[in-house]
Structures are given as structure tokens and as C-alpha cells.
Amino acid sequence: MKPLNIIDFKGKSILLLCHENADLDAFCSAAILSRFLKQKKIKSSVAVPSHINEQTLSFAISEKISFNVNPALEQFDVICLFDFNDYEQLGKLRK
């Protein structure tokens, strides 16, 4: 198996997807990777299936971290999942 190289992400549409009712550990992990990719001039989007918890929402607002709700998965070349331990945590996106 070929090791992952961040350069391979250039020019790709990248989704950083947190689990349903995203908590701080999932959301912050995705946000940190998004900022790292941005430094490398690689675009990405942080998203959640339908909502995030109140603490995470407050954090996102205070830190000015944008995120999408219910993203169209087929629009992305690469999807990175954060803090999933069950298929059910995809919420509406299970379809």
C-alpha cells in the first residue's frame, strides 16, 4: 500500500465529516486538519450530517469556523471521517 501524501490532495474536493451530533473532539479534529490543509493551499470543507451539540456550536461561532450541514457526499473526491465508531452516526447520510 502506498503511504498517504498530502500533496495527493491538491486539486481535489475534500470533505472533513464529523459524526451526527458532533462533539468538540470530532469537530476540533476536523477543524485542525482543515486549517493545516489551508496552510498547504488545499481546500476542504468541515461538515456534519445534521447538527452539532450546543457546546460545539458555541465553539464554532467563537472561533469563526464554518461548517456545512447535510453535505452532498457525491460532490467530493475525498471524504475523511472523524470520531465515528458506528455506521448509525452518519445520520441522514447513511442512504
Per-residue model confidence as pLDDT tens digits over 42-71: 999 999 998 899 999 999 999 999 999 999
Is it the case that residue 74 has pLDDT exceeding 90?
yes
| pLDDT band with cut points at 50, 70 and 90 for residue 8 | confident
> Cα dist. 3→33, 40, 72 in Å?
18, 18, 28
Per-residue pLDDT, 18: 94
Is it the case that residue 2 has pLDDT exceeding 80?
no
Is it the case that residue 72 has pLDDT exceeding 90?
yes
pTM of the model: 0.90
Taking the C-alpha atoms of residue 48 and residue 50, their distance in angstroms, rounded to an integer, is 6
Per-residue pLDDT, 3: 79
Taking the C-alpha atoms of residue 59 and residue 78, their distance in angstroms, rounded to an integer, is 26
Taking the C-alpha atoms of residue 4 and residue 21, their distance in angstroms, rounded to an integer, is 29
Phi, then psi, of 52 in degrees rounded to 5: -120, 160
Q: Tell me if 20 sits within 8 A of 49, measured CB to CB.
A: yes
Per-residue pLDDT, 34: 96
